[in-house]
């Protein structure tokens, strides 16, 4: 599985902060978007869409169940990027 660099994690944190309309400092690895940051499901769909655009990957909406915090988002994105790399081989 593809591991994300610290720089990429910081970029993702920035995307999350922008979409969720919170300061980046409020987004820890295990901060729950809905419970801790009052995000609704529409915001999470927007996160998914932004990641697809930013990183030119496809992420199935079923992955939203895993995308509850920064750690989950990074895992899903790493998996999508890994699948993309394999398809390119």
Which 8-state DSSP code applies to residue 68? S
Q: Is 48 exposed, middle or buried (0-12, 13-18, 19+ CB in 10 A)?
A: buried
List residues with catalytic annotation.
Answer: 40
Per-residue pLDDT tens over the stretch 45-85: 999 999 999 999 999 999 999 999 999 999 999 999 988 77
Average pLDDT estimate for 23-36: 98
CATH 3.40.50.720 describes domain 6-82: no
Confidence at residue 83, expressed as pLDDT on a 0 to 100 scale? 81
Can you read off the two tokens belonging to residue 26? 């409020």
pLDDT greater than 70 at residue 89: no
Q: Where are the domains of the chain?
A: 6-82
């Amino acid at each position: 599985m593809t591991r994300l660099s610290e720089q990429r994690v910081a970029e993702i944190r920035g995307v999350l902060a922008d979409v969720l309309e919170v300061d980046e400092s409020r987004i820890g690895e295990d901060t729950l978007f809905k419970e801790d940051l009052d995000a609704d499901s529409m915001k999470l769909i927007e996160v998914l869409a932004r990641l697809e655009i930013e990183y030119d990957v496809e992420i199935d909406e079923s992955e939203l169940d895993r995308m509850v915090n920064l750690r989950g988002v990074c895992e899903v994105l790493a998996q999508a990027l890994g699948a993309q790399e394999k398809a390119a081989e």
